[in-house]
Structure formats: C-alpha cells, structure tokens
Structure 1
Amino acid sequence: MPDLVTAGQALAAESARYTAMGWMRGTSGNLSVTLGRDPLRLAVTASGLDKGELTAHDVVEIDGTGEALPGQRLRPSAEAGLHARIASVAGAGAVVHLHMLAPVVAAERWPGGIELRDLEMLKGFGRRAHDDLVTVPVVPNSQDMTVLGDAFEAGYDPATPALVVARHGVYVWGDDLLVARHRAECLEWLLRFTTAIAEG
C-alpha cells in the first residue's frame, strides 16, 4: 500500500490527466487510493481545488466512513464517504469519480441500468466481448453519502466495476489508478457508442 505522499503524487498526476480530458471540470470530481485495510484508510483529493493544478499535498487521509483523520489541513471531497464504501465493499485499490457526459446521458435514457453486450471494448472494462450481458447500475443522486452508499451496495455486482449517479457522474474502480483509468476510458466509449446507436 502507498504512503500518503506517494498516493498524493499519483492522485495529482491522474487528476491533471482527467482535467485535460474534460472529465474534471472546474473543481468537480475526486479520486482516491486505498492506503490500508485494517483499519480502512484512503487518500482522497481535497475539496474545492482545481483538479488540474493539484500537488502531492492536496490530498486528505480519511477513515472508513469518509471522515478526515485528525490534523488534516484540508477538507476531503464531499463524496469521500462513497469512496470509502466502494473501497470497503468492492475491495478497490483506487476509485475515480468523474463527470463525463456519456454516462449521465445514458442514465437519463436507461434509469434502471445501462445494458451493454457484444462490444469488443468490454474487454477493456474487464468483461467478455461476446455473450456477456453487462448492466451498469444507475442510482438516483443524493447529497447524503450514506444513501448513495446503500444504493450502491444494494445493486453491487462484483463483475461490474462502475456506478452511474443519475444527473451527476460516474464512479469506476480497480486494483490501482491505472486499472481504474483504463476502465473509465473504455466505459466512456461504450456508453457514448450505445447512446449514439439508440438515438439513431
């Protein structure tokens, strides 16, 4: 497991990459990496900062409920509690919360879950390209991370490492930031394609 400074360096670099892609506009979005499991500890990007300009020190160490550990100079993201829940339930080493347009549009069209199948890019998302129905869960938005966490856990499928929050954004996770990024990139393509085909 990384230490806080090493995690901060990685989180800053990934945030800059996602900002350049237009997926962390303004101060939106947040990323986390798991620092330890017993007890659960995560490093999460700090709230209210331009994600394209983060430094290794612009992260907050949080506990398993999403609360900052004592002595932190910055506030954690408002969604830190959901990061912690995903890390706990899914065993994720990294969670990325991004504001891509494609998942939000897809969730608007398929609020009960977004079905994907028979697409080669599913392999990059960690699933089979054929004969594998993938349903990306969609949950209603809430400012209460316990409510969102409960909704995530109720529909959690270990084989589907993503969650779309309606009219908000998407959470994608993996063993580390690189895996989470690759999955996020593939998921964005899949949802963009599926929405475009549905619209004719």
Structure 2
Amino acid sequence: MPGTAGNLSVTLGRDPLRLAVTASGLDKGELTASDIVIVDDAGEGVVGEGGSEQRPSAEAGLHARIAAVTGAGAAIHVHALAAVRAGHQWPGGVVLHDLEMLKGLGHRAHGERVVIPVVPNGQDMRVLGDAFERQYVRPTASVAEVPALIVADHGIYAWGADLRQARWHLELTEALLQIALSRA
C-alpha cells in the first residue's frame, strides 16, 4: 500500500455489525493501535466502543457492506495496477479459467469459469455497496463466489475469514489479473 493508499478492516461483531477500520490519510506501513477506528454497518465511526476517534477511511462503508453481505472476517483494499487495468479492459467482469492459482480462491484449476465482478467507481459508498451487492454471486451448486471485487479505475477489494486469508486472496487475485492481462 503505497503511502496512504488503501485500507484494512476486521469484523469485530455482527449484531450489531462492527468493524475495526484503518483511519483516513495514514501511512499503512506505520499503523499503531490509535490509528484504528470502530465503525458501524454504514462505515460511520462509533464513539465509546474502543478504537480512536479519528476519521475512518473513506471506504469504510464499502468494507462494512462486504462484511455484511459475504460474512467476511476481514477485507483489504489496495490500488493495484493490475486491478485498475483489468477493470478498464473488462468493465463487465474479469473472466478467469484454466489457471492453477484459482485453487487458492476455492475453485477448480480447470473446467470452471470464474468472474471477478467490476463495479463503476464513485465516492458514495452506499452506491458502490449497492453495485457490489448486485454483482456479488452467492454460492450455488453451479456458481462459486470469488472473494474479490474490482472498482473500475480505482483498485481492488479482497476478503476472507481473517486478515491472513484476505491478504492471501488479494495476492492470488492480483497475480491472476496479471496473467489475464498478459493473455489479452
């Protein structure tokens, strides 16, 4: 995460939904406990429940929506070049198939078509959250979910049960996007 770009969240509770989110405008390589803000299901800071009273990341609302819709325990957002390029190249979604690394996202390496959704960029996290929810595919017998979302001309969100798995999903997805772009 170069400079202050990107943000992290960890789900603390579900009823009501509470997340620990990085505060706005901070270098993510130098975070301390005072740089974490507790937010509600709309991404608004909650005073009196721990965390600092700093302003939460501007994307906290989308983190909250991802946690609510997917059940994620953590999410990471970065401004990865491969995600920005892929979202521009394939605004309807990035189709991946026949790649070994898909196994790391819970898919078969061959014989399965996986689509990473792409939503248009914007500054209103409710609008982005609604677009995400419309694009998010809940697992069925024939379609499995992808723990990632590309925001066009902005970056990528990836999530998992915890920060370690979210980072793993982010790294795998970014590598898969680089492969897809090299094939285009």
TM-score normalised over the length of structure 1: 0.85
Which residue in the other structure is 1:26 paired with? 3
Alignment partner for residue 184 of structure 1, among 165, 170, 173?
A: 170
Unaligned runs of 5+ in 1: 1-23
Which residue in the other structure is 1:150 paired with? 130
Structure 1 residue 90 corresponds to structure 2 residue 76:
no
Q: Quick one: distance in 2 between partners of 1:33 and 1:127? A: 24
How many correspondences in the alignment? 175
TM-superposed CA distance for 1:161, in Å, is 1.0
Which residue in the other structure is 1:63 paired with? 40
Aligned-pair RMSD on alpha carbons? Answer: 0.9
| SS across alignment from 1:195 | helix
Alignment partner for residue 28 of structure 2, among 51, 55, 60?
A: 51
Q: Is the 8 A contact 2:82 2:177 kept in 1?
A: yes
Structure 1 residue 170 corresponds to structure 2 residue 150:
no
Q: Quick one: distance in 2 between partners of 1:58 and 1:92? A: 21
Residue type at the aligned position of 1:185: E
Which residue in the other structure is 1:139 paired with? 119
Unaligned runs of 5+ in 2: 139-144
TM-score normalised over the length of structure 2: 0.93
Q: Quick one: distance in 2 between partners of 1:185 and 1:165? A: 16
Alignment partner for residue 111 of structure 1, among 76, 91, 116?
A: 91
Query: After the TM superposition, which segments of 4 or more aligned residues of structure 1 sit over 2 Å from their partners?
Result: none
Identical-pair percentage: 65
Which residue in the other structure is 2:102 paired with? 122
TM-superposed CA distance for 1:166, in Å, is 0.4
TM-superposed CA distance for 1:124, in Å, is 1.0
Q: Quick one: distance in 2 between partners of 1:169 and 1:93? A: 20
Q: Is the 8 A contact 2:121 2:128 kept in 1?
A: yes
1:70-85 map, 5 Å: 70-71=47-48, 72-85=52-65
Q: Is the 8 A contact 1:126 1:183 kept in 2?
A: no
Q: Is the 8 A contact 2:74 2:162 kept in 1?
A: yes
Q: Quick one: distance in 1 between partners of 2:78 and 2:106? A: 19
| SS across alignment from 2:19 | strand
| SS across alignment from 2:28 | coil
| SS across alignment from 1:57 | helix
TM-superposed CA distance for 1:73, in Å, is 2.3
Structure 1 residue 42 corresponds to structure 2 residue 19:
yes
| SS across alignment from 1:181 | helix
